[in-house]
Structure 1
Amino acid sequence: MSDRIVLHVDFDYFYAQCEEIRNPNLRTKPVSVCIFSDRGGDSGAIATANYIARKYGVKSGMPIKFAKSRLKQISDAVFLPADFPYYSDISEKAMEIMKNHADVFEYVGRDEAYLDVTKRTQNNFKNAGHLAQQIKNQIRNEIKMTCSVGVSSNKIVSKIASNHKKPDGLTMIEPQNTESFLAPLKVSDIPGIGKVTEEKLREINLNTIEELRKVDIFTLNKMFGRKISLYIYNAARGIDEEPVAEKQPTIQYSRIVTLKKDSTELDFLASSLEEICADVYETAVKNKKMFKSVGIQFIQSDLTGKTKSKMLKNPTLSLEELKKTAHQLLEEALIDQTLGVRRLGVKISELSDLQGQSSLTNFF
């Protein structure tokens, strides 16, 4: 698995850049793309901001009112509602360009993808660098968008590399340079290491990846458990054997609403949960799909997320089963809930077609 060349392509400030394509006059202004909530006014959060807005401290996930306060002295600051159908159209065009340059293409999200280019580059990093630049040029010429590309022998190092020289960067890390490239980086540069994990590592004076490498796997096991520890241990050394693989998009039906107030009260949340379940159920019926997995989602008062899900024994299309399972998950999630719930959602997945006698039995 070490004889590979993998590209990670990551679009710079994707949603805001899409808006700049639609209106080039925005390129010189601080632009923030917002997800407004149902509460009206400036209630909601920033989806993404361009680099001009970021200079003033605006960042993804920040409440819109906080972002506006940071830009209140900037008369030409722009706040736009998110237009996801438009962003998806732009993304599809860019992904088609990437697919045409890949041996194997793995879609990750609207703004990122992995490409295995080992065969077409003859496993030559110089050729891979040229190919990465070709992809960047074609996307810039045809879509008017910039992206950053990381090139290495595996997915994790390429992902770290793509973030190294943003925006509009190209970073190539050959295998013999992997450890020296990673050494001075922060532990938080490893994908998947969030604030909680970073703080635990900082408590024992581990701030850089080089320092992290000095810790043995047994110490990490005690701190994080076996699975996470193995990932951290390997990532710090640039080890990742996961192949680039074409993946079918995960199909699920979901609905999330903004509540009238932040709350941790079961009765209040349960009343909204009933309506959300009914909406999701209606979508499943319309598409003639049974579901086997039920999940709930919280967006908390600090805008962090929390999810909980359950796999059912058999696929079903029963509204009562959906409500019962969602309510059970809600009760379990609230046991240790301290932050108020701002938004509440329900999703169903593991979908299958509604057909045949057994399906009708489950339905009724």
Structure 2
Amino acid sequence: MNMFEVEQFLTQYKEEMELTDSWLKERMNEVRNNHQFDPSSEELIFGARVAWRNSNRCIGRLFWKSLHVFDERDLEDEREIYEALLRHIKFATNNGKIKPVITVFKPGVVRIWNEQIIRYAGYETEKGILGDPSSITFTKVCQALGWHGEGTHFDVLPIVIQVDGREPSVFEIPKEYILEVPILHPHYKEFEELNLKWYAVPIISNLKLSIGGVEFQAAPFNGWYMGTEIGARNLADVGRYNMLPKVADLIGLNSSSNSSLWKDRALVELNIAVLHSFKEMGVSIVDHHTAAQQFKIFEQQEKEGNRQVTGDWKWLIPPMSPATTHIYHQPIANIIKKPNYFYQKAPDYELYLK
């Protein structure tokens, strides 16, 4: 137990919740007497929300106070943890009106092996890669654990849960829990031929939540998508679905010369299709210009709260037309504050890849 981090967090909690000095003294004495810091439900909610506020790589922090926290620290049974994750998916999806949600499990005991709770599989085949290339290794792990996909470009991977170092358990997500959006274009009907789609809720599950020195290795959380995450990265990156050449060919662009800017034009049309498709289905999404404007409001609110605005500039600028946003033109301090979410060492896959 790191008493410095505990006191730092509880002092921040006291100040922002407008509690008394005597409360802080009593709480610190309680921690010392118990020889451990076990955040109360109220402290956990505050910590998870402030961790979002402190997330330097997130442009969507304006809504940090709206994060809904499910406290599931009492669960140690794999199936019960799986059922809690299904509750998370259903609550967050909210028929398309996405809600920001985090589910926190017992620290040092529960681990979720997925990078995201919902993600598509990737297969190496004789005809090339099928599905998402970034998922190839984890797909192999799932197969070694007994899972078999349908062999399409958009097979949803199962959830892999490990408790207390035991053999990991594999659970399929029922299809009715997964809201997916077919990607169509408002002007180019030919987009139907690409048979693209994407899932509605990005639930990050490979980061740990750090609150007062306590590290929660399983704390999956979500907001909603910014359009470029799908249209300029997931579907466009060469190391992902690499759709720009197909989009260019589909809409008749000359891709024989870089100077024709065919990649840029294809990228714009793909992003238009993503935003159009989500909005047509009534699924929450934000374009990068609106997200940047929202971040500006967040900056103003932080200054009014006498808090330094921090951020990782290269992550905050959108991957498309970044110079059209104010973020591109200003410096920002990449100072790490806690509570926060941090990358952690991946589970040991090697046993299942031999």
Report the TM range for the smaller structure's normalisation.
under 0.3
Normalised to the residue count of structure 2, the TM-score between the two structures is 0.22
Q: What is the TM-score of this pair, normalised by structure 1? A: 0.22
| Larger radius of gyration between Structure 1 and Structure 2 | 1
